[in-house]
A and B are shown apart, each in its own frame.
Chain A
Amino acid sequence: MNPAISHNLPEDPGLVALVGGVIALLVLATLIGTALRRRVRGEAAVATVANLNARIRAWWVMVGVFLTLLLVGRDGTLVLFGALSFLALREFISLMPTRLADHRALFWVFFVLTPLQYWSIHVAWYGLFIALIPVLAFLVIPSRIVATGDGVDFLSRTANLQWALMVCVYCVSHAPAILMLEIPGFVGQNAKLLFYFVLLVQLSDVLQYVWGKLLGRRAISPTISPNKTWEGFWGGLLCTTGIGAALHWATPFSPGAAALIALAACFFGFLGGLTMSAIKRGFGVKDYGTLIEGHGGVLDRLDSVCFAAPIFFHITRYFYTAIPGL
């Protein structure tokens, strides 16, 4: 375990600036939301603004929780993302068809594999972190289910469970795993990089939503996600790329590299949102849950993080850390 990984928010002026910017943004959003509520007329517009205000209120809570646990330190951050994985997993598995015989395998998934994945980050054991779910769990889960002797829909049951783990635990855990990267010249500032990543991906979602509401005409995939439009996609992607480059001082990246990395992360975030929508369509539901007012479930808010986090993590790891053996 590396003591350099620990971080301290108040001593890092860059992180303080990012946090201040986010709070200023939320204040601005709250003011706009309040002004809109006074002005709009008509049932559909009132409903849209009510949903917008619910989303803004939920953002305050989410930012508050994220900042508090980021301040607590590395373990606080790991507990937060671990809990998010757990809740997302619960939403995902509750929707997929399971059989009574899966009970023990499910117990392993929730109470052994998920904590173990986050423990591997806690002790900065990269080998376990990267292999636990795609290799070990991939072998253990079907073995546990086959031991029950219930072979009905065997492959689809094991595949569903593997997907649930990959999306909700493996992919999400790549965000806090940013904390275990050892980047020369960036020691002790990884929390800032994690904050930068989460900020970009969430901003990308928000900007796609805003551009879509303002200019959205042509739906990208009406059968999968009717609210995603080409106008929203391009507006969100270009704005986020620009913001990513402008905030390069919070990262070990140059402005040009920051723009490319922001573009890649947000593009994959967009694909994540689309993929998770397709899974919801397959299950026949609109939202994964009801935990976050206006947003749906935890997984509805994390859908873009799921796909963006591994991309962001591996680009940073490959190009910015001294990896032995490459």
Chain B
Amino acid sequence: MKSPLMAALVRLAMGATARWVGCGPTLSQRIYFANHTSHLDTLVLWAMLPTSVREHTRPIAARDYWGANALRRWVAQSLFNAVLVERKRICAHDHPVEHMVEALGTTNSIILFPEGERTPGPEVAPFKSGIWHLARQRPDMELVPVYLANLNLILPKGEFLPVPLLCRATFGQPMHIKPNEGKADFLHRTRSSLDQLRQQ
């Protein structure tokens, strides 16, 4: 299997450590949602999961970037088993949320960056509404906040050379969407749970 070896390499090269603060790594179906500052985010979060969990976890990636050429598509789909979604021209028959629901199926988990794009600093930007639509369609999913620290310094947006600092993923407490919870409330609640992990 290439995935355990690659994950071990990532952990060593990135000096990445996981802190399971609010939950342990289990096989229950989850939506891991994290702050997004670097191209390396998916790689690190993916490598932090134990092999058995990782094999059932699919990252969500932007098709306009990861599908732009054959190499990127191969990296995203063959190495990480990523789900490529459209974030520019969204229409009913090619809706990102539909692809996420499909990817979850009955056994899988997904990795999602609800800010929708990379941010420069350690602060968590406002969430796009995709995560709310997804949670409404799959209210049974555990939503697990994951704060990724230091990645904005390792490979910031706009830089092409990484600096080998240590980074850390902190996994928070699983949460669920409440019955009839409004979009604004839900987005605020999920975002602040992620922001609280930053301060821990």
Contacts and interface: CB of A to CB of B under 8 A. Distances in A.
A103 B159 contact: yes
Contacts of B165: 90, 93-94, 106
Nearest to B155: A103
Contacts of A163: none
A100 interface: yes
B152 interface: yes
B144 to A, nearest CB: 23
Interface string B156-185: 100101011111000000000000000000
B89 to A, nearest CB: 32
B153 A100 contact: yes
B74 to A, nearest CB: 28
B77 interface: no
Q: Chain B contact residues: over half helix, strand or loop, or mixed? A: loop
Contacts of B120: 100
A318 interface: no
Interface string B110-148: 000000000011000000000000000000000000000
B163 A94 contact: no
B161 to A, nearest CB: 5
A150 to B, nearest CB: 13
A106 B163 contact: yes
A100 B153 CA distance: 6
B193 interface: no
Q: Chain A contact residues: over half helix, strand or loop, or mixed? A: helix
Interface residues of B, number: 15
B159 A94 contact: no
Nearest to A98: B153
B162 to A, nearest CB: 8
Interface residues of A, number: 13
A290 interface: yes
A115 to B, nearest CB: 13
B81 interface: no
Interface in B32-49: none
A228 B156 CA distance: 41
Given A94-B15, A290-B17, A110 B164 contact: yes
A98 B120 CA distance: 14
A244 interface: no
Contacts of A94: 15, 150, 165-167
Contacts of A290: 17
B163 A100 contact: no
Given A93-B165, A94-B165, A110-B164, A103 B17 contact: no
B164 A103 contact: no
A33 interface: no
Nearest to A89: B164
Q: Which of B121, B152, B161, B163 has the most CB of A within 10 A?
A: B163
Contacts of B159: 103
B156 A100 contact: yes
A157 to B, nearest CB: 12
24 contacts: A90-B15, A90-B164, A90-B166, A91-B15, A91-B166, A93-B165, A94-B15, A94-B150, A94-B166, A94-B167, A98-B153, A100-B120, A100-B121, A100-B156, A103-B153, A103-B156, A103-B159, A103-B163, A106-B153, A106-B163, A107-B161, A107-B163, A110-B164, A290-B17
Interface of A: 86, 90-91, 93-94, 98, 100, 103, 106-107, 110, 289-290
Given A94-B165, A107-B161, 8 more contacts: A90-B164, A90-B165, A93-B165, A94-B150, A94-B167, A103-B153, A103-B156, A107-B163
**Which 6 residue pairs are nearest across A and B when measured between Cβ atoms?**
A94-B166, A106-B163, A94-B165, A107-B161, A90-B164, A100-B156
